Amino acid sequence: MVKVLLDRMAAAPEVDLAVPWPSDPRLRRICRELQAHPDTNRTLHDYAQRLVVSEKTLSRLFLKETGLTFRAWRQRLRVLSALPLLERGDRVTDVAVACGYDSMSAFIDAFRSFAGVTPGEFFARP
């Protein structure tokens, strides 16, 4: 049994299961909101207006603090938010909607971009 597990682990795609967290308090507020509501459709422009800064300034700060663009950070968060839902057996369509995707195919594409495999392949059982 251990050999089978080790073989499966060796063949599994390597995925960074972390989201870099910013130290800037304004960005932390945004990130906490996105973490609590991954399905929100608020844009970087919306957050910039709320914080009374330019979108470009917020975009540069996000990249500097996290090493990712706002869009890439949010996509990673959404995919990681999907993992527990998929693990417990929720339907992919329901998970896609809960994580803010407009369609199941958009979610599967984002998941594949992140993990290198589809959600079904990621959670395939031997």
Q: What is the pLDDT of residues 44-102, one digit of tens each?
A: 999 999 999 999 999 999 999 999 999 999 999 999 999 999 989 999 999 999 999 99
Give the model's pLDDT for residue 121.
87
Domain ranges within the chain, ordered by starting residue: 23-122
Instruction: Indicate the average pLDDT of the chain.
Output: 88
What does the alpha-carbon distance between residue 125 and residue 67 come to, in Å, rounded to a whole number? 34
Give the model's pLDDT for residue 5.
45
- Nearby residues of 126 by Cβ (< 8 Å), 6 or more positions away: 4, 8
Most confident residue range from 6-10, 14-18, 32-36, 111-115: 32-36
Mean pLDDT of 13-41: 88
Q: Domain spanning 23-122 has what CATH number? A: 1.10.10.60
